[in-house]
């Protein structure tokens, strides 16, 4: 990953730190590779924009062949819909309280909108919110495949779909999230198999009540490689666009496929076995552990051993490299998603650092 330092060296006199740096050539390769993977397997790509929250990147994903986008909440969907994205799946079991019901209704009037549902109360609440326009809203039943997050039991999918249809909503399929595939390299394939089994059961449950599951939607970046079963119709990867240390450790990407890092500056070095960088939890969040670290310096074995809000503690054991005060280093995050939301803009260049652009993180702060 020395290429990250090379790109940073050409930029450091033009940027303030800490700053998120995106290598556009690596990012575009990631987008194209995922699209080619899906096309070869006759799958639709519906990338999750929660990772980047950036209109320009979303446009690049759609231009590459994505059928639409996945959003994590109503606010994200509104930002992208206002910019012309017209096929949006909010892959979350929304409770349409206060303003959300009206906002969903407005979105459904201007876009092809799908929302996640995993309980009967939400079916009724969404139908009430849509009123006479219930048939404009497509619902996708979320089922649990072992991550033990949100999601109904797969065998309940048909009952939920039937309830939605009776209330005038349009049940179009099922989705799940194999989050337990991020636990270890070996867990990736097992989670994908769990996902396949859960989706198969859910589709059968739909069939049993006379509903066709046109949408059978799978995630996520760590398990995509194994999402090739014929029952799956679309994939919803998010992190693949940038990748990160977690995905690299899992074997879901190579180090050369990491497209985002954070530029951080050494600001203090009074302790012999560590230096302090201006990269703390306000930048990297708290993703990590003392054992794995909270981010790594590209091209080295050095990791951040501790974070305060504005301080990153970089361990520099004797004999290892010891960056001096003012050194600007490329820090690769463990998990890229919570890094992006800490910044108003992304600094965009290529692996040679040949140019510099600034792209707005357009949906930053839209959490409801």
pTM of the model: 0.96
DSSP assignment, residue 176? Answer: -
Residue 11 lies in a domain: yes
Q: Are residues 290 and 321 in the same domain?
A: yes
Q: Are residues 54 and 155 in the same domain?
A: yes
Please tell me the predicted confidence (pLDDT) of residue 228: 76
Per the listing, tokens 């240390």 go with 245
Please tell me the predicted confidence (pLDDT) of residue 321: 83
pLDDT tens sequence across 189-242: 999 999 999 999 999 999 999 999 999 999 999 999 998 778 999 999 999 999
Residue 226 lies in a domain: yes
Q: Are residues 85 and 18 in the same domain?
A: no
- The contacts of residue 16 (CB under 8 Å, 6+ apart) are none
Please tell me the predicted confidence (pLDDT) of residue 318: 78
Residue 366 lies in a domain: no
pLDDT tens sequence across 38-57: 999 999 999 999 999 999 99
Token pair, residue 57, equals 């990147």
Q: Are residues 77 and 143 in the same domain?
A: yes
pLDDT tens sequence across 25-37: 999 999 999 999 9
Residue 32 lies in a domain: no
Specify the CATH number for the domain of residue 198: 3.20.20.10
Specify the CATH number for the domain of residue 304: 2.40.37.20
Q: Are residues 111 and 161 in the same domain?
A: yes
Residue 277 lies in a domain: yes
Expressed as residue numbers, the domain containing 10 is 2-22+252-360
The CA–CA distances, whole Å, from 201 to 89, 144, 194, 209, 227 equal 22, 11, 11, 13, 16
Residue 55 lies in a domain: yes
pLDDT tens sequence across 246-280: 999 999 999 999 999 999 999 999 998 999 999 99
Give the chain's domain count. Answer: 2
Round the CA-based radius of gyration of the chain to a whole number and report it: 22
- Indicate the residue among 242, 262, 279 that finishes a domain: 242
Compute the 3-state secondary structure of the chain and give helix, strand, coil in percent, each to the nearest 5: 40, 25, 40
- The contacts of residue 84 (CB under 8 Å, 6+ apart) are none
Q: Are residues 206 and 302 in the same domain?
A: no
- The rounded distance, in Å, linking the Cα atoms of 266 and 312 is 9
Please tell me the predicted confidence (pLDDT) of residue 230: 87
Q: Are residues 230 and 97 in the same domain?
A: yes
Q: Are residues 207 and 314 in the same domain?
A: no
Please tell me the predicted confidence (pLDDT) of residue 1: 53
**Dmax (CA) of the chain:** 71
pLDDT tens sequence across 293-336: 999 999 898 999 999 999 999 999 777 788 999 999 999 999 99
Q: Are residues 150 and 79 in the same domain?
A: yes
DSSP assignment, residue 278? Answer: S
pLDDT tens sequence across 118-154: 999 999 999 999 999 999 999 999 999 999 999 999 9
Q: Are residues 61 and 173 in the same domain?
A: yes
pLDDT tens sequence across 68-121: 999 999 999 999 999 999 999 999 999 999 999 999 999 999 999 999 999 999
The DSSP-derived string for 295-359 is: -EETTSS-BEEEE-SS-EEEE--TTS--PPTT-EEEEEPS-SHHHHTT-SEEEEE-TT----EEE
- Indicate the residue among 215, 242, 269 that finishes a domain: 242
Q: Are residues 172 and 298 in the same domain?
A: no
Q: Are residues 103 and 192 in the same domain?
A: yes
- Indicate the residue among 222, 242, 262 that finishes a domain: 242
Secondary structure (3-state) at 129:
helix
């Amino acid at each position: 990953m020395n290429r990250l330092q090379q790109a940073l060296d050409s930029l450091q006199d033009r940027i303030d730190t800490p700053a998120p740096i995106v290598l556009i050539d690596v990012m575009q390769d990631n987008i194209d590779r995922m699209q080619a993977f899906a096309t070869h397997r006759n799958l639709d790509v519906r990338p999750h924009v929660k990772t980047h929250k950036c209109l320009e990147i979303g446009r690049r994903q759609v231009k590459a062949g994505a059928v639409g986008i996945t959003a994590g909440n109503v606010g994200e969907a509104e930002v992208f819909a206002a910019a012309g994205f017209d096929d949006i799946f909010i892959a979350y079991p929304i409770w349409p309280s206060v303003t959300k019901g009206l906002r969903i209704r407005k979105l459904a009037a201007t876009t092809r909108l799908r929302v996640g549902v995993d309980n009967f109360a939400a079916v009724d609440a969404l139908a009430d919110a849509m009123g006479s326009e219930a048939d404009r809203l497509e619902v996708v039943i979320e089922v649990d495949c072992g991550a033990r997050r949100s999601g109904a039991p797969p065998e309940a999918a048909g009952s939920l779909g039937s309830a939605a249809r009776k209330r005038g909503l349009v049940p179009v399929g099922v989705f799940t999230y194999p989050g337990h595939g991020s636990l270890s390299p070996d867990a990736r394939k097992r989670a994908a198999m769990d996902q396949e089994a859960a989706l198969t059961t859910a589709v059968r449950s739909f069939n049993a009540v006379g509903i066709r599951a046109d949408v059978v939607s799978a995630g996520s970046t760590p398990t995509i490689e194994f999402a090739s079963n014929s029952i799956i119709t679309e994939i919803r990867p998010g992190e693949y666009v940038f990748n990160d240390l977690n995905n690299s450790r899992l074997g879901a990407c190579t180090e050369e496929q990491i497209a985002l890092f954070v530029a951080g500056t050494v600001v203090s070095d009074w302790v012999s076995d560590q230096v302090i960088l201006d990269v703390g939890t306000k930048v990297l969040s708290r993703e990590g552990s003392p054992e794995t670290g909270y981010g790594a310096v590209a091209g080295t074995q050095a990791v951040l051993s501790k974070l305060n809000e504005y301080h990153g503690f970089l361990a520099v054991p004797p004999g290892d490299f010891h960056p001096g005060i003012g050194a600007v280093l490329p820090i690769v995050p463990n998990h890229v998603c919570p890094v992006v939301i800490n910044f108003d803009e992304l600094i965009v260049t290529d692996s040679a650092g040949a140019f510099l652009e600034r792209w707005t993180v357009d949906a930053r702060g839209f959490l409801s």
